[in-house]
Amino acid sequence: MSLISKLQANTEFIDFTDELVDIISTKMNLDKKTLWDCVSEKSLEELKKSVRKPKKKRAKTAYTMFSKDNEITNKLRAIAGGKVSIGEMSRLKSELWKTLSEKDKEEYEQMAKNENEANPVVNDKTEKKKKNKTPYNMFLGDKELRESISNEIKTTDMKKVNKEMVKKWKSLSDKDMKKYIDLAEKENKKVKENEVVKENEVVEENEVVEENEVVKENEVVKENEVVKDEKKVKKKLRAEKKSPAKKKSPAKK
């Protein structure tokens, strides 16, 4: 199996390679992008997108337990005045859940906790936090400065350019240093904001998944009920065929 195939087989391999390249870049004062190009023609993001992610088994939540509560289902059905479609029932449950107080939700939170303790969900993969960018990282990534130094020493040799970059870094004034300090702070702030957005998206996605799972479970129940009704009808028809109605004898004159 080639290196690219191994990387595309698992995102953990990609993260490990990225971390390794980052360490070499920092220790050897080499440009990370140039090093990464030696590993793969695709960028880190493109490689991760090419990996087929396995379906994750999710832990039960308070909303899941609430949605499965038959008393809630019967109560909503009674309020609606009889039969309610699966989609409509899911909508009613979602709206009712949003109106519950924290105290009312505690019961379902405890139920979810008990269920998860009895049937724990094990996730082998642990999320790795991205390292904060340093002013030195931003300095090494300054393409304009790197190109300027390359033109100045009249060579594109990466080692020679990096050697001059290190010299330049050591001689930076406080004013020039502040530029890279600000860039690092801006980049780290952007990463944190993206992480918050991602966490919110995951929460919203889980809520949608939970609602969809409830809809599917209701569809299965409904399908089973239809099958039972069909079996009853067929059984009744077979019984009627086996015992046809007796013909009435003509009345005596």
The whole-number pLDDT of residue 208 equals 63
pLDDT at 253 over 50: no
CA nearest to 136, candidates 236, 28, 54: 28
Q: What is the C-alpha to C-alpha distance for residues 28 and 248, in angstroms, rounded to an integer?
A: 106
pLDDT at 54 over 60: no
Higher pLDDT, 43 or 9: 43
Lowest mean pLDDT among 73-82, 155-164, 205-214, 226-235: 205-214
Confidence of residue 225 (pLDDT cuts 50, 70, 90): low
CA nearest to 206, candidates 41, 57, 45, 79: 57
Q: Could you tell me the end-to-end alpha-carbon distance of the chain, in angstroms, rounded to an integer? A: 99
Q: How far is CA 10 from the centre of its chain?
A: 16
pLDDT at 127 over 70: no
Other CB atoms within 10 Å distance of the CB of residue 89: 20
Percent of the chain with pLDDT over 90: 4
Mean predicted confidence (pLDDT) in 12-21: 79
The whole-number pLDDT of residue 38 equals 81
Burial grade of 198 (CB within 10 A; 0-12, 13-18, 19 or more): exposed
Cα distances (Å, whole numbers) of residue 240 to 26, 46, 220, 235: 85, 66, 30, 9
The whole-number pLDDT of residue 68 equals 87
Mean predicted confidence (pLDDT) in 97-116: 89
The mean of the pLDDT values for the chain is 78
Q: What is the number of helices (H) and of strands (E) in the chain?
A: 12, 0
Higher pLDDT, 129 or 131: 131
Cα distances (Å, whole numbers) of residue 120 to 58, 70, 110, 149: 10, 24, 15, 57
Q: Is 56 within 8 Å of 189 (Cβ atoms)? A: no
Q: Is 13 within 8 Å of 23 (Cβ atoms)? A: no
pTM for this one?
Answer: 0.34
pLDDT digits (tens, 9 = 90+) for 163-190: 888 888 989 898 889 999 999 999 888 8
Mean predicted confidence (pLDDT) in 240-249: 59
Mean predicted confidence (pLDDT) in 210-235: 66
The whole-number pLDDT of residue 3 equals 62
pLDDT at 83 over 90: no
The whole-number pLDDT of residue 81 equals 82
